Structure 1
Amino acid sequence: MVLAIVLGMLTGLSLGLTGAGGGILAVPALVLGLGYSMTAATPVALLAVGAAALVGALDGLHKHIVRYRAAIFMAVAGALLTSAGIRISHALPEKLLVTLFAAIMLWIASKMLRRPTADTPHQPPCRLNPDTGRLRWTGASTATLAAIGALAGLFSGMLGVGGGFLIVPALKRFSNLSMHSIVATSLMLIALISLSASAISLAHGARIPSSGWVFVAAAMAGMALGRQLAPRIPSDRLQQGFSLLTVVVAVSMLVRSYLL
């Protein structure tokens, strides 16, 4: 149980600091640290990430920095593909899922290690109305937000990840929201998608063992700590450390799957 507490805390701490990465670390922590299979780890990871993200989202709502209408809209779009993702996860061999998951982790690490560039569109489709401070709901912004939510929902069901690794860079590229607002909105969306995916997974017969509930509670505590520490740590250092950890975990999962 001590290991479940430590790994859960680290998962929630990562999510709280970056607004992403909770699911990416939750699944390997459960598989490598606690001996879960990928299929068994998915519902536990979803519940842990969703509950932890909810803690962060409530903090963002209290501070009035969450774009909750956009988050709810993207969550609805994501829910439409969550069931498809779960069916895919049960249909594919576990070794293939591990390979796909590791490939995604390595891609994320490479993106986070790169320094920001000036390639963001001058007029992103999702823009704030300077008069009201709210998002402009146009055809382009609606389609963009729907696509982000749908992809996040698909990966949530298929790989047990909350989708923050996609949501944060996507909103950063296709909106003019501040990074502070993006992280808070991402946490709300992750909470909505992960908790709904967890409910669907449980309805399909998944079970949460006692160590899984300990992991969930520890992740929530880690999130609370991460939201307190985030403003005090340079973002560049956070990204570099998270990227290196992601590479190590991805390689470890590949080694375990193919060589052990």
Structure 2
Amino acid sequence: MDTTGYIASIFIGISLGLIGGGGSILTVPVLVYLFGIDAAVATVYSLFIVGMTSVAGSFTYFRKGLVNMKTALIFGIPSIISVFLTRTFFVPAIPDEVFTLANFSLTKDIMLMLLFAVLMIFASYNMIKKCKGEDCFKTDNKPVKNTAIVLQGALVGFVTGLIGAGGGFLIIPALVGLLKLDIKNAIGTSLFIIALNSLFGFGVSVSHFVIEWNLILKILGLAILGVLIGSWLSTKIDGKKLKPAFGWFVLVMGVYILIKETLI
């Protein structure tokens, strides 16, 4: 399965480079189902892979001045605090066996994968729905309260810290809908926030696990290669047209994980 996993790693990066996100949500399933890594460990590996891939993905946006640093700090500080609290206190407190009911035992790994499946299904909606640019995230013109921004940042940090996903599908709507960034600035700023959150979460967790650096560096290298391929393809193909198809794929994967972890 390793060969399939390495091929899938390239497509994680291609998705990021071509449609501006989505690929990171496949990282944990690839690590768990194709490389046979425990879910709890996979979330840590994912933090590093997603973080470094986002650094590579945000480079072009930095060069074009499409990363709003002020917004990144306003949104990112509560997010980073949430990542720290989640990885330091919440995740270690989850027991290896959450509960047993009849013949079904909910372990920590199964629970994390079920949460990931729900996240994938939720994220697929944002990819499938038909809208253009900022129209996807329209809100009313009422003043945005700082509390709403802080809570949204904390939610993203919790998601990132708990299951190792970048949370771009939460960040971009918040940046466009709450903070009124245009879509290109939102994507660039989102990648920067994802990089900060993910690498910070990895730094908090790395001392608690034995890291297979050879494996994750190979996956990272292939994912970054995918980003470069995706960025090149984005000049030839309209990524927006492919986004719904990728959304359906993510939806199917999310449903498959739900069924596999509960019924199979």
Structure 2 length-normalised TM: 0.84
Distance in 2, matches of 1:203 and 1:118, equals: 40
Q: Report if the CA contact (8 A) 1:124-1:174 is conserved.
A: no
Distance in 1, matches of 2:79 and 2:149, equals: 10
Unaligned runs of 5+ residues in structure 2 are 96-107
Q: Report if the CA contact (8 A) 2:156-2:167 is conserved.
A: yes
Distance in 2, matches of 1:173 and 1:179, equals: 10
Q: What's the offset of the Cα at 1:118? A: 7.8
Q: Report if the CA contact (8 A) 1:12-1:219 is conserved.
A: yes
State the match for 2:59 in structure 1: 58
Q: What's the offset of the Cα at 1:223? A: 1.6
Unaligned runs of 5+ residues in structure 1 are 127-139
What's the C-alpha RMSD, in Å, of the aligned pairs? 2.2
Q: What's the offset of the Cα at 1:12? A: 1.4
Structure 1 length-normalised TM: 0.85
Distance in 2, matches of 1:68 and 1:56, equals: 16
Q: Report if the CA contact (8 A) 2:24-2:165 is conserved.
A: yes
CA change 1:37–1:108 in 2 (3 A) is same
Give the 5 Å matches for 1:22-171. 22-86=23-87, 87-90=89-92, 91=94, 93-116=108-131, 120-123=138-141, 125=143, 140=145, 142-171=146-175
Identical positions, percent? 28
Q: Which runs of 4+ in 1 moved over 6 A?
A: none
CA deviations over 1:55-93 (Å, ceiling 9, x no partner): 121211111111122113322211111133224334052
Distance in 2, matches of 1:196 and 1:212, equals: 17
Q: SS at the partner of 2:234?
A: helix
Tell me whether 1:244 sits opposite 2:248 in the alignment. Answer: yes
- The AA in structure 2 aligned to 1:33 is L
How many positions carry a matched residue from both structures?
246
Distance in 1, matches of 2:180 and 2:10, equals: 32
State the match for 2:209 in structure 1: 205
Which shifted more, 44-53 or 226-235?
226-235
